[in-house]
Amino acid sequence: MNWLAWKMLTGDRAKYFGIVFGVAFGSLLIAQQSSIFVGLMRRTSSQILDVTEADVWVMDQRQQNVDEIRPMPDNRLYQVRGVEGVAWAVRLYKGLVRIRTDDGQFRQAILVGVDDSTFVGAPRQMKQGEHADLRRPDGIVVDEAGYRVLFPGQPVELGRTLDMNDRRAVVVGICDVTPPFQTFPVIYTRYSQATQFIPRERNTLSFILAKAEPGVDKDELSARIRHQTSLQAMSWDDFFWFNIRYYLENTGIPVNFGITVTLGFIVGAAIAGQTFYLFTLENLKQFGSLKAMGVDNLRLVGMILFQAMAVGLMGFGIGIGMAAGFFEAMEISGQADLRGMFVPWQVIAMTAAAVGMIVVVASLLSLRRVLVLEPAVVFK
């Protein structure tokens, strides 16, 4: 019977492609827009994602995200180090700097100052140079995409210089980073060096990164740090979500993408659902004659669900494939706006659920018509 269902479905090529196209287009819209949304949200936390050595992030009580820094006095570091269960704790500077390149252009960049001796927080993927090169006077490591922004059209090589706060900096390393939310270059340097690249401020300590002693639970340690220092402390993944939640709640991004994703759903549902429904209606007589020939309702339901599943699977596959291909093409073409974005499995699952809903609703609508069909209609 599935063979028959398949033949009926694919008999009219144009309609069949129409249905599959509808599902595919809907899937593409849903998957692609959700992926960009997820990608952007991840980007807001890219600097958190890129620091993997520490268990706990410690920051000022009032700080709400990873970008708007409220610096702490330096002595906080020693308070944190004094908390029981802390294996080590180091300083991290993060802020925006103004850069003047050799050709006199001004650019904004994200400056990250990592611990002078351990380099905790330094980029994991070095493409040229190594962490130890940060010890060299005025040494900085620049991310490759940022390098291209700072030195457009020039070969990616070490030794180039730029100015921050009227101080010369020398590129001693090139790295890869998770692309940040604002597509600024990311510059790494030692903490003590970073304080010289920025205008003098009373406090410069942005974050304290702490490691739990073996056997100490990081959530428990965070709670203990909060208690003893009246600072804000949370585990790496809590901070990741804390930061994302901030952006979800305080920007228009979710609403904008929510609208597009919903539109994708509606367009997909409208095209696929409608075509499928009309397809069944047009075949009502065929279903009627099958009924007369002794196909019972249960098997008709089976046939229609089979048809719905077939177009659903096919459209979904094509849609997800196109979404993945889109990001792949963006990656290859070096599109900085979408660099590092992909279709996460959660989005695939969500798209599958949406497509499932579309085809089930479409087939339920059609089913109703087929089930109440009197087999005697075949003589009409």
Q: Which stretch binds another protein (CB under 8 A): 7-15, 50-58, 97-105, 240-248?
A: 7-15
- Binding-site size for another protein (CB under 8 A) equals 25
Q: How far apart are CA 96 and CA 112, in angstroms?
A: 9
Our CB check for another protein shows the closer of 228 and 286 to be 286
Q: Around Cβ 299, how many Cβ atoms within 10 Å? A: 15
Q: Is 372 in the site for another protein (CB under 8 A)?
A: no
**Half-sphere CA count of 90, side-chain side, radius 13 A:** 20
- Axis crossing angle, helix 345-371 with helix 13-44, rounded to the nearest 10: 150
Our CB check for another protein shows the closer of 84 and 296 to be 296
Our CB check for another protein shows the closer of 302 and 321 to be 302
Angle at 55 between CA 88 and CA 193, to 5 degrees: 60
Residues 252-291 within binding reach of another protein (CB under 8 A): 285-286, 288-291
User: Would you say the C-alpha torsion 263, 266, 269, 274 has a positive or negative sign?
Assistant: negative
Among 11, 82, 152, 325, binds another protein (CB under 8 A): 11
Among 8, 90, 261, 354, binds another protein (CB under 8 A): 8
Angle at 187 between CA 123 and CA 193, to 5 degrees: 100
String of DSSP letters for 29-85: HHHHHHHHHHHHHHHHTHHHHT--S-SEEEE-TT--SSSS---B-TTHHHHHHTSTT
DSSP state of 154: S
Among 153, 201, 215, 379, binds another protein (CB under 8 A): 379
Our CB check for another protein shows the closer of 253 and 295 to be 295
Q: Is 7 in the site for another protein (CB under 8 A)?
A: yes
Q: How far apart are CA 269 and CA 244, in angstroms?
A: 30
Residues 285-304 within binding reach of another protein (CB under 8 A): 285-286, 288-296
Q: Which stretch binds another protein (CB under 8 A): 2-10, 17-25, 75-83, 346-354?
A: 2-10
Q: Is 12 in the site for another protein (CB under 8 A)?
A: yes
CB 296 to another protein: min, Å: 5
Footprint on this chain of another protein (rule: CB under 8 A): 1, 3-4, 7-8, 10-12, 285-286, 288-296, 374-376, 378-380
